[in-house]
Structure 1
């Protein structure tokens, strides 16, 4: 059992760290309605980050799950705008992956190169006002009409949607078929009958705009359907397996940076004539932060490795998702406590790390949903 990364993996990580730190270090803390720009997205694309696991034939890096997660970990470490990192990861894993694996050749050729080179931004439009964790309650419909599908209904919380060029969405094509009655589509934003709302006001991840998407009789050519009729639920679960395994690498990177900041602050901050790191109440808090980070990292790497080996990774992915997201929130709280009053203020960026971590327990399947899956697979 070898826990060392290969030399090429280490070189790739350093290249991302250097490239992002010099070209995408992140923005100073701004207003909640500020989000990434097209120029910043293009820079991420030039660094290879928007096409990590897409085919080389379409401009991507052809990376597997583990190397994709390692790349996002480096991105999350080097870039303080976690919203931008999240937006790139969601674009890649929740949107580009299903197009890569289920679109017809014509649509793959049309979309994947743009996804890789940053000229196309994609958004995952799955969640609805009354269908979050319960994806069996979708109300958006897609009625077949000749060589088109007519989409009607509303999606919510679609990350990247206000800036997106392509919407990967899911709709009911056969109301009587339940799980097998949902189909998937990669919908060009330019089509008539699509209305995307303004960016939602959010607690964190300000850099990634999220909005409501309304389909009002939008006629989508059948070639933009992903897979076959009724395969949408399976396609969504496939994309979520990539997202749950790989996206959370960005939080490992955030926690790495956060831990370094806390250790440095504990060494330099003086109280009662001593560095605060000399007090066990602080040093033990830092030690607990590292323990959570290292444990979460091992679980995430294992889940990605199992995916790359084409082995069952369902439970491993659920375990890693819970571990990473809960570690990110707990470490964020500890970081604020270690920095004290300055950690509560926005200039240091410590409070932003906490805000950016809270939604990790919600998206890609809530912690409660993951624990239900783990319990069932454990025999309960």
Structure 2
């Protein structure tokens, strides 16, 4: 079993980490304009997991995760990377795996190039973790469906050109009750709401999307009618693994900053690094990072091997998200009062880490999935 990166992976990682420092200066543009999306496309982050025939790089899950980890480690804004990851994993991947050939040809090159921005419209005001009871309805009509309902917390929602959304098509269908759709922003009856105010991941705008008798043609159905749960779960395997590589990079960056800080800062007549409680805290931070990294890489490897990655994906998402929050809070303790000063950026790191245990399925949901895989 090889735990090392190949020479090609090491080269790509170093190059992406260096390029990410340039991207960091354009952090706010992801929410307000197209410049950052063009930069993300140029760096290959929007098309990393897209076949080359559609303008992507053709990477598997592991190589894609390494790119996102490197971009985060190099200093790219967490919100910008989250926006890109939501675009790629929750929206582009379903089009790749479940779209008709003509739909893939029409959408994927522009999605890879940053000309089109995608938003993931699954969550509803009364349906967060329980995705089996969607109140958004899709009614069959000649040539397609009419969508009615409201989606909330739509990542990239206010700026998206395309929405991958899910609606109930058969209320009594159980697992096969919902269907997935790729809906153009300019579709009559679709209204994207204003950006909501958030405390973290500010560069990724989110908001409501409302459908009122919004017509979606048959060629924009992803998969077959009734396969909404399958489409969503498949996208979540990519999101819960590859997206959370962003938080590996964030932890690596925070640990590096903390090590530098404790080497220079003095208290009680000695460097902070010489105080055992401080050293113990940093050791725990490193342990959490490397444990989560091994789980995440294993989850990605299972995806690439075509195996059922459910157990490893749930464990990776749980471990990395919880570690991200704990490590950001520990960095705050190490920086002390300076953690409350915006110039140091620690408080922003905490705010960006906190949502990790909620989106893409809460930590409690991940524990339920792990227990299910154990046969409980």
Shorter-chain TM-score: which interval? over 0.9
- Paired with 1:344 and 1:37, the residues of 2 have a C-alpha distance of 30
- Residue among 168, 181, 184 paired with 2:180: 184
Query: Once superposed, what is the RMSD of the aligned Cα atoms?
Result: 1.4
What SS does the corresponding residue of 1:62 show, helix, strand or coil?
A: coil
- Give the corresponding residue for 1:278: 274
CA distance in 2, matches of 1:279, 1:27: 38
The answer to whether 1:139 aligns with 2:138 is: no
SS of 2:333's partner is helix
The within-5 A match list for 1:279-358 is 279-358=275-354
- Provide TM-score, normalisation by structure 2: 0.97
Q: Displacement of 1:202 after TM fit?
A: 1.3
CA distance in 2, matches of 1:36, 1:89: 17
Residue among 216, 221, 244 paired with 2:240: 244
Contact 1:130/1:137 (<8 A) preserved? no
Separation (CA, whole Å) in 1 of partners of 2:134 and 2:247: 30
Cα separation, 1, equivalents of 2:114 and 2:159: 12
Once residues 158 and 297 of structure 2 are traced to their aligned partners in structure 1, the CA distance between those partners, rounded to angstroms, is 33
Give the Cα–Cα distance (whole angstroms) in 2 for the partners of residues 183 and 56 of structure 1: 28
Match of 2:73 among 54, 72, 77: 77
Higher deviation after alignment, 303-312 or 123-132: 303-312
SS of match in other structure, 1:175: coil
- 2:375 alignment partner in structure 1: 379
- Distance in 2 between residues matched to 1:24 and 1:142, nearest whole Å: 40
The range that moved more, 84-93 or 196-205, is: 196-205
TM-score by length of 1: 0.96
Report if the CA contact (8 A) 1:36-1:208 is conserved: no
Task: State the SS of the aligned residue for 2:24.
Answer: coil
Residue 13 (structure 1) aligns with: 13
Q: Distance in 2 between matches of 1:315 and 1:263?
A: 34
Give 1:34 deviation, angstroms.
9.0
Q: Does 1:155 align with 2:151?
A: yes
Assess if the C-alpha contact under 8 Å between 1:336 and 1:350 holds in 2. yes
Q: Displacement, 1:178? A: 2.4
What is the aligned counterpart of 1:89 among 85, 89, 92?
85
2:165 is matched with 169
CA-to-aligned-CA distance 1:286-335 (integer Å, 9 cap, x gap) = 11100100111011001111111111211111111000000000001100
Offset at 1:35? 3.4
Provide, for residues 76-113 of structure 1, a one-character-per-residue CA deviation record: whole Å limited to 9, x for no partner. Answer: 11234100000001100000000001111111011100
Structure 2 spans left out of the alignment, 5+ residues: none
Q: Whole-Å Cα distance in 2 between the matches of residues 69 and 260 of structure 1? A: 20
Q: Aligned to 1:135, what secondary structure does the other structure show?
A: coil
1:4 corresponds to 2:4 = yes
* 1:87-126 matches, cutoff 5 A: 87-126=83-122
The alignment partner of 1:136 has SS state of coil
Distance in 1 between the 2:71 and 2:32 partners? 15
Shift of 1:26: 4.0
